[in-house]
Structures are given as C-alpha cells and as structure tokens.
Amino acid sequence: MKKNIKFFVRIFFTLILIIFALYKAGLLSETGRDKFINLVVNIKWGYVVLSFLLMFVLNLVSSVKWNALLKSKKIQVQIWRIYAYYNIGKFFSLILPTSMGGDIVRIYKLGKFSGKKHTATASVIIERFTGLLVLLLMTIIAVILNIRIFNELWLTIALIIASFVLTFLIWIITDVRIYNFFNRIFTSKIKVFEKLFIKLSKIRNTIIDFKADKKAMIWAFIYSIIFQILAILNVWISAKAFSNELDLITCIVAVPVIMFITNIPFSIGGIGLMEFGYVYTLSLFGISPSLAISTALLIRAKGIIDALFGGLLYAFFDKDKYLVKDITNVEQK
C-alpha cells in the first residue's frame, strides 16, 4: 500500500513538473509553440552530431573511472566490458521503475563476472558517490558565487539536505562506532536486520579498503571533475544546435545547478524534473524558455538513444534472460 502511494505521489509530481516546464517554456501558448518550432526546424545538425560524440566520451570517462577503481583492487576487466555494463545499466534505469535499477544491474553483472559481489557493490557505490560529491561541491560554489541569481529558499534547503545526507553517510561508513551503534539498535529490535547488516558490514569493509587507497580515490575525484566539465560542454554544444544565445560562461555556472536539480528524486525517471531544471535555471540568466526546453529535450532524446544502445549491448552480449526478474526482486527486497 505504502509503495503504491509513493508511486502515485511521484506520478503527481512528474505531471506537475511537466506542466510547469511547458508553461514556463511558453508551449501552452501559440506564440511560444511557434518559437519552439522555429528553433527545431532550424537546428544545426553539425552540433547535434558533435553532442552525440560527446555523449560517448562522457560514458567512456565514467567507465574508465569505474575501471580504475576495480584495478586498485586487482580486478582486471576489459574496458569494453566495463563500458558495456555501464550502458546496460543505463538501459535498465530507463525501463525499471526506480532510478537505482541501473546501478543494481551493474553490481549484478560485475559481481557475476568477477565472482566478487561485495567489491562490485562497493566500486559502484564509490563511483556514484564521488560523482555526486563533486557535483554537490560545484553546485554549492556556483550558488554562493552567484547568490543574487540563485536566491531561492527551496534550492538552499535542497542543498542543505543533500549536504547533510552525504555527510551523514560518510560518517556512518568511516566511523565504526557510529556504524556499530546503528547495527546494535536495528538488530536488537528486528532480527531480520541481522543478515542485512552482515552483508552491509562486508560491503562497508570493502569501501573502507577503497578509501585507504588514496591514489585510487584521487583519480576517482579527478575523473568526476573531468565528467562535470564535459557535462557542461555537452549542454553548451547541445544549446548551440538551436541558437548562440547561451554562452559558455553561463553554462559553467548554470549546468551544475541543473544537474543537481535533475538528481533530486521527485519524479519518475527524472521526467519533467530535468525539463524544469533547464527552463527554471536558464531563465534566471535571461535565456529564452524556448531555447531552454529545446536543449533539455535534445539531451533527453540523447539519453534515451544512449539507453537503447545499452539495450542492444544487453541483447547482443548477455544471454541472461532472467536478469530483469532477478533485478526487480532485488529492488523489492
């Protein structure tokens, strides 16, 4: 019952965000639709091709980062396989009802291939966590340096909550006393948590091992920074496919905030939320809503095509026909 309520609440937020984004973009009026159609009709295909190539580079950087973490633990996996797992994860993020579906698939596939499930889990957690931490820091810096533009209470609250959650997670993982405290509380009250915490302890120990390898962690953060820089270029080039209105300096400030908003777990698959993030944030810099929504939709289309490519990789390389059922069962547990 609670799961159904949560799902319908997310559907409600998704619809509200879509309607708001369309309204802000002017697509609910004839004039706004004409501006949008004019941008799409006059699209510069050279920039579209370049933006698709950049999407491949973004995935490659993330794959190299993940592979570097695995190599630090003496897990040797060909980079093409890591890239395939990464894209297959994107495919399952698209078709599964939860945003974590792709990460669970990556853990499942790498764990099955390497035979080291806990290391696979820890590597995906650290790969994801370092990326989120870099994004959060870049967003905070962008907001502080442009506080007059980003003087929005809800954005400040969201940043505070995200900072608290990440700090709390770091504290639990790195401080054994805090971890054992929560372990005692949950396992003493509910026996079913005993098996869960046994598994969590193994994963935590592996994460601590990763953390102890300073070289691997430094490179993980470097790759995360490179990814964010490329993500900024991705938005800029995608926008230039429609117009020269959005300059690179504005992108450097606005894109981290847009990506932070997109990662807030409000809507289903980020639908509506990403479009809202682009229209809302870029409008603060005086960018036309029609360009903002056009850029968002192009990036959305690229994301879907990217995920479908992951589906082709899954169909071509993977004969595990029960994977969807297995992953769904893991999520429900």
Write out pLDDT tens, residues 168-181: 888 888 888 888 88
The pLDDT of residue 31 is 77
252 domain-assigned: yes
Q: pLDDT tens for residues 183-214?
A: 888 777 666 677 777 778 878 888 888 888 88
Length of the chain: 333
pLDDT of residue 319: 57
Structural domain contains residue 28: no
Q: State the burial class of residue 240 (Cβ atoms within 10 Å of its Cβ: 0-12, 13-18, 19+).
A: buried
pLDDT in tens, 123-133: 999 999 999 99
Sorted by sequence, the CB contacts under 8 Å of residue 249 that are 6+ apart come out as none
Are 268 and 97 spatial neighbours (Cβ–Cβ below 8 Å)? Answer: yes
The whole-angstrom separation of Cα 131 and Cα 221 is 7
CA distances from 124 to 36, 131, 157, 207 (A): 39, 11, 28, 10
Is 175 inside any structural domain? yes
Residue 19 is assigned to a structural domain of this protein: no
Give the range of the structural domain holding residue 280, as residue numbers without chain letter: 58-332
Determine the Cα–Cα distance for residues 292 and 287; give it in Å rounded to an integer: 7
> Is residue 304 domain-resident?
yes
Tell me, yes or no, whether 141 lies in a domain.
yes
**Any domain includes 171:** yes
Residue 266 per-residue DSSP state: T
pLDDT at 4: 66
Residue 20 within a domain: no
User: In the prediction, which pLDDT does 201 show?
Assistant: 83
The tally of domains found in the chain comes to 1
Cβ–Cβ < 8 Å for 258, 277: yes
- Those residues of the chain that have pLDDT short of 50 are 321-322, 324-333
Mean of per-residue pLDDT scores for the chain: 85
